[in-house]
Amino acid sequence: MKSSLDHLVSESRIWVYGAERAMSDTETNTVKTRLQEFVSGWASHRKELKAGADVLHNRFLIVAVDETQAEASGCSIDGSVHFIQGLGAELGIDFFNRMRFSYRDGKGNIHTVGRDEFKELYKNGGLENDTIVFDPLVKELGELRQIFERPLEDSWHSRMV
């Protein structure tokens, strides 16, 4: 399926918002539609931003802007944050808790847990160094495409265990 991120350059600035839980297909479709509507009218100092958005794995909202065209200003970034906060309130989903970690289990299923549970899982062998984790701190679209999913031992997550 085509994504509105596909037309953006790898250096595009991104923001990743992780949901506290997997969204249903209906919720994901609603979020994708609303994100597309938002980015299609997103502007900075009255200049339209070349932007895109998508939802990955029914739980990660991605907002991106190609700043070679126009830079996202503080006000435009604040506008996107308020939009996502409102969307989360409407759906009853928290997209802003940065103390949650997402990983793939051995069967490929994605789980999201709090920091303490993440540490406990590692301590008890439920997570290993080669467990795939998701890095919501990636800053550019190219990083999202290449290192958003990577082994725990190659991620900043290793400092949390």
Q: Report all structural domains of the chain as residue ranges with CATH numbers, in order of start.
A: 13-91 (3.30.70), 100-160 (no CATH)
- Strand order in 110-114's β-sheet? 110-114, 100-104, 132-134, 149-151
Q: Tokens 């890095």 — which residue? A: 135
Q: What is the mean pLDDT of residues 75-85?
A: 93
* Rounded distance between C-alpha atoms, residue 68 and residue 49, angstroms: 10
Query: Is the pLDDT reported for residue 1 higher than 70?
Result: no
Q: What is the pTM of this model?
A: 0.92
Give the model's pLDDT for residue 54: 96
Crossing angle between the packed helical segments 74-91 and 25-40, to the nearest 10 degrees: 160
